[in-house]
Structure formats: C-alpha cells, structure tokens
Amino acid sequence: MESELHSIGELARASGLGVGTLRYYDGAEVLAPAWVDPQTGYRWYRPDQLADARLLARLRRVGLPLAGIRAVLGAAPGSGEARRVLDAHLHRLEDGLADARRELSLIHALIDQREQPMSTTPADVRRTVPTEELAAALDAVRFAVCGDPELPSLAGVLFEPDGAVLRLVATDRYRMALAEVPASEAPASEPATPAAPACGVIVPTPLVDAVRALLGAGPAEARLTLGGGLFRCEIGDHRIEGAALDFDYPDHRALTRLEPQHRITLAAADLRAAVETGATRTLPSGPHGTDCEVTVLTLTEDGRLTVAADPAPEDGRLTVAADPAPEDFRLAVNRDFLLDALDAGRPDRSDQPGQLLLELGGPIAPLAIRTPGRAGTFSVLMPIRLP
C-alpha cells in the first residue's frame, strides 16, 4: 500500500506545506491522510490529495480562516459554495484595506502634525473678518464637527490664520468641511503679529455656536484673537471668549490632496431631489459600525449622473456636464452626510447660484463637493465600500 501513497514528507515538499502544518490540518479535520501506520503513526496520502494540499497552501497565503478552508475543500463540485466562500473573503479583505487606507491617512496626518505643528498658536494672532463671511463659513463647516466623546480633539472647529484668509476646518473622520474668510491684520493701534507659518486654535463646539448666534444684524466686522490657549470674538460692544481645546488637530492639507478623475457641474436642487427620493441601501458603515442609509452615485457613458441602488434604475437620471465614464462606476456615500454637505454648500452665495461642482476620484476615493466661485470652501465625504 505504501508504494501507492505519498509519505507526509513527500506531500510537504510537493505542496509547499510543512510537515507540522500537515499534521495540524489532519487534527483540524481539514486534510486527513488516507492511511496512518498503526505501529509508527506515520501518515500517508493518496496521489489525488496532492491537489487539495496545493489548494490548501494557496488558501493559507490569502489568509482564509480555518472554517473557510474547510468549507472550500469540502464543497461539492458544481455547487458554487467554494466560490461564495472566496468572494465573501475577498470582500472582507477589500473592506479591511479601505479601513487601513483611511486609518493610515490619519496616521500620516498625525505624523505631519508632529513635524509641523499647527494646532497651537504660540502668541496672540489678531484678525478682522467680515461678519457675513464668517457666518457663512461657520454654516459651511459646522455640520462636520465630531460629536464622538471618545475623540475630544475633533469636538470643535479649527480656526487657522493663513495670510489674507482665515481658514475654518471641521471633521469627524468620515467627512471634512473647509471654508475660507477674508481676513486683515489687526489695526495699527494693536500689537502687530509677526509673519509666521499657518497655525490655529481649536474652538470648542459650544463656543462656535455662541459666536454664530452673535453674527446677526449689527457691525459688519468681527475682531478675532487667537492664542495663549484662548479664543475671543468681538463684535461692536459684544465679546465672547473661552478656552481653546488643547489638542493636536489632523492636518487637513494631507487629507484634502485630491486627484479627481471627473469634475461634474450640476444643479444643487436637482441633486438634492434625486438623493431624497432615490433608492438607498442599509449598510453597517456609520460611526462605530452602526447601520446607515447609503446613496450610490453612478456615471454612465452618455455623461449622466444617476442616484441608484444595485441594480441601477433606468429613470431618475440627471443631465450633467461630465466626461464619459464607465457604466460600472459606483461611488457609495452616507446619504445623511451627503444631504448635510449639500445644505452647507450654500450655492446661493456663489458666482453661479444654484450650481454645485462634484469631484470624483473613483469608487474608493473621497467625494469633494464644491460651490463654484468659492474655491476655499468645500466638503469631502469618505466613500463606503459596497459588499
């Protein structure tokens, strides 16, 4: 009998699996030998088991769990079960890669932050900004502020002076919003601020909301003071001030280096209507893995944008100015986050009222939503991997 069988050593050399590994899979009831010598305990395998051993070696290389390996090797020919197991494992790997890319982007941002700190203003910086512009900027970013108590560093808006503008940034890791306000130096009667690299302070959410409530009818300009761990806003005879958050803030410059493949201009009202009435999918892709409603955006070869589920409907398409794109292009985003971003865009304030500019980089690339005429004000939504 032994002359018709392969020894465990021969099977190990032919398959690339170690002898110890073959013993393990025997004990796990995955690849049992054809015969075990009752006197020596030595294992022997049939020639046709070599194909299973080689398949097992490849399944191990792609990280398929033990239960999956057992299911693939035990699947009945023609049942399709083996392919279903492998497809499910591939989706898990792709989801894990998307999560890893997202986390690595944040890690790179934190490393950049350590090398180029931008969250603490060492000395007072004073800027004068138009109250109407500041109100519009706060409206454009407030929706993206993080409400997760486990991420206190994101529980506010970053106020970042940068030359002739004041940049506001908010993020909750799943979306980011930026807005710019024209800013001038403090009056000559106040101490001048030396030129310095961009820096800023994180203004906590309650203080942000208090400032926004003050930006109504009244003086056309607001005086802001940032530094020393404090934030102050003065409008006429009114003054609001409080402590800034003492944390490092993610470097938005690293997270918003987008490389769009498609730039699409369309009517904001039409897009909102399509999103509100379009089909959605429920996926566990919200904060902390909670379920959320997902909108799928597709581009067709005739340059149309479709808000669709899977499969895509034939109606409800919006005509847009876009380069031809493959029909299988599908970008999934959190529906509520998308509606928030559309509201925050405030296209009525742009040079092209009622229009929005969407920048799409691919099915796993962030979606940027811009308002024409407001280059420094835009939102970025992270994509959701479809199963």
Report yes or no on 366 lying in a domain.
yes
238 lies in the same domain as 262: no
* 91 occurs within a structural domain: no
Same domain, 193 and 273: no
Residues 278 and 236 occupy one common structural domain: no
Final residue before a domain boundary, out of 252, 268, 300: 252
Tokens in use for 181? 């306000």
Q: Are residues 341 and 227 in the same domain?
A: no
Burial class (CB in 10 A: 0-12, 13-18, 19+), 287: middle
- Structural domain containing residue 231: 125-252
Supply the pLDDT for residue 100: 74
Tens of pLDDT, residue by residue over 5-18, are: 888 989 899 888 88
Q: Does residue 107 fall inside a structural domain?
A: no
User: How many domains does one find in the chain?
Assistant: 3
- Of 252, 267, 289, which residue constitutes the final position of a domain? 252
Written as one letter, the residue type at 38 is P
Q: Are residues 338 and 247 in the same domain?
A: no
Pair 363, 329: CB distance under 8 Å: yes
Q: How far is residue 71's CA from residue 277's CA, in Å, rounded to a whole number?
A: 42
Same domain, 239 and 288: no
Q: Are residues 267 and 195 in the same domain?
A: no
CATH number of residue 22's parent domain: 1.10.1660.10
Beta bridge pairs of residue 199: none
Within a domain: 99 = no
Q: Is residue 102 part of a domain?
A: no
pTM (predicted TM-score): 0.63
CATH number of the domain enclosing 203: 3.10.150.10
Residues 131 and 240 in one domain: yes
Residues 275 and 341 in one domain: yes
Cβ–Cβ contacts within 10 Å for residue 68, how many?
18
In a domain, 84, yes or no: no
φ and ψ at 267, to 5 degrees?
-75, 130
Instruction: Please tell me whether residues 244 and 262 are part of one structural domain.
Output: no
Cβ–Cβ < 8 Å for 308, 279:
yes
Query: What local confidence, expressed as pLDDT, does residue 104 receive?
Result: 74
Q: What is the pLDDT along the chain (387 residues), one digit of tens a residue?
A: 455 888 898 989 988 888 888 998 888 888 989 898 888 889 999 988 899 999 999 998 888 888 889 999 888 888 889 999 998 888 888 877 776 776 776 676 667 656 655 444 445 789 999 999 999 999 999 999 998 888 898 999 999 998 899 999 999 988 999 999 999 975 544 444 444 444 689 999 999 999 999 887 678 899 999 988 899 999 988 899 999 998 888 877 777 777 777 888 888 888 888 899 888 888 776 556 678 888 888 876 666 677 875 533 344 344 443 333 444 678 888 999 999 998 886 555 555 567 888 888 777 788 899 888 787 889 999 888 776
| Residue 247 and residue 262 in one domain | no
Q: Does 114 reside within a domain?
A: no
Answer whether 290's CB lies under 8 Å from 284's CB. Answer: yes
Within a domain: residue 79?
Answer: no
Residue whose pair of structure tokens reads 């999918």 in the numeric block: 281
217, 252, 287 - which closes a domain: 252
Identity of residue 144: A
Exposed/middle/buried for residue 295 (C-beta within 10 Å: 0-12, 13-18, 19+):
buried
Cβ-count burial 15-41 (b if 16+ within 10 Å, e if not): bebeeebbeebbeeebbebeeeeeeee
What is the DSSP pairing of strand 238-243 with strand 262-267?
unpaired
Same domain, 278 and 347: yes
Helices 66-74 and 49-61: crossing angle in degrees, nearest 10, is 150
Burial environment of residue 98 by CB neighbours within 10 A (0 to 12, 13 to 18, 19 or more): middle
